[in-house]
Amino acid sequence: MAARVGVVVFPGSNCEHDVVQSVRALGAEAELVWHHQDDLGGVDAVVLPGGFAHGDYLRPGAIARFAPVLEAIARFAADGGPVVGICNGFQVLTEAGLLPGALQKNRGLRFVCETVELEVATDRSVLTGGVAPGTRLRVPVNHFEGNYTCDARTLAELRDDDRVVLRYVDNPNGSVDDIAGVCNAGRNVVGLMPHPERACDPLLGSTDGRVLLSALLGASVPC
């Protein structure tokens, strides 16, 4: 039985259909989950896609984290369910306190929109299970607030616990320790700024995103 992935839609999300399409192309099922829903409908994994939830008003993710669906996601995550936040989804997860740190404006106040090289830092996460550390992947980034930051104690914790999931080979935004993605202590909640769903078709210049989404589907045990 194929895994079912719930893709959360906030007013202003704009990558949800890309995620749905790339997940279906990998043989899994995908459905949209509206932010007012307080129930995830029994999905096996959740993806919070990129975009500009609530227009990025106040701060990216600051309003979205109060949506009813976030309570359902927090419960799902507490039970060990796989949750991945991509770009704006990563910002929402940090604002919701499901991931540590925050995403500040890029170094030099530059919006970055390019395909970058990532290095897998750990295979101990729902997004990188079975992917050898050191593996390099070409995946696009597209953000203004992608400069990952956290206090020194949190950074030490992330490093010591092997919770940095992905690093930039050539840091495009000033993120501390070249961090492109991190996970929670349970390793089932991952946030990353790059867009794996935009690197799943040769037409788009890279298919390396499939490696990450396939790992997520592998970690999503159908009910």
Partner 1 sequence: MSDRSTFTALVEVQLRPGIADPQGATIERALPALGVRSVRGLHAGKAFRFEVEADDHAGAVAEAELVADRLLANPVLEEWTVTVTGPVSEEHALAAGAAGGTD
**Which amino acids are annotated catalytic?**
87, 195, 197
195: nearest Cα among 146, 140, 121, 143: 140
Q: How many residues bind partner 1 (CB under 8 A)?
A: 16
* Residue carrying the six token digits 């919770």: 163
String marking each residue 61-90 x if it binds partner 1 according to CB under 8 A: -x----------------------------
Question: CA-CA distances (angstroms) from residue 204 to 106, 138, 146, 199, 201?
Answer: 25, 11, 22, 6, 6
Shortest distance, position 109 Cβ to partner 1, whole Å: 5
Instruction: Report d(CA 167, CA 182) in Å as an integer.
Output: 9
Of the CA atoms within 13 Å of residue 199, those in its CB half-sphere come to 24
String marking each residue 174-193 x if it binds partner 1 according to CB under 8 A: x-------------------
CB of 147 or CB of 220, closer to partner 1: 147
State the first-to-last Cα distance of the chain, in angstroms, to the nearest integer.
Answer: 9
Three-state DSSP class for 49? Answer: coil
Q: Which of residues 29-68 bind partner 1 (CB under 8 A)?
A: 58-59, 62
Say if residue 109 is exposed, middle or buried (CB neighbours under 10 Å; 0-12, 13-18, 19+).
exposed
Using CB under 8 A, which of the segments 49-57, 69-77, 101-109, 158-166 binds partner 1? 101-109
Instruction: Report d(CA 137, CA 119) in Å as an integer.
Output: 6
String marking each residue 143-172 x if it binds partner 1 according to CB under 8 A: ------xxx---------------------
CB of 2 or CB of 62, closer to partner 1: 62
Site residues (vs partner 1, CB under 8 A): 58-59, 62, 94-95, 101-102, 104-105, 107-109, 149-151, 174
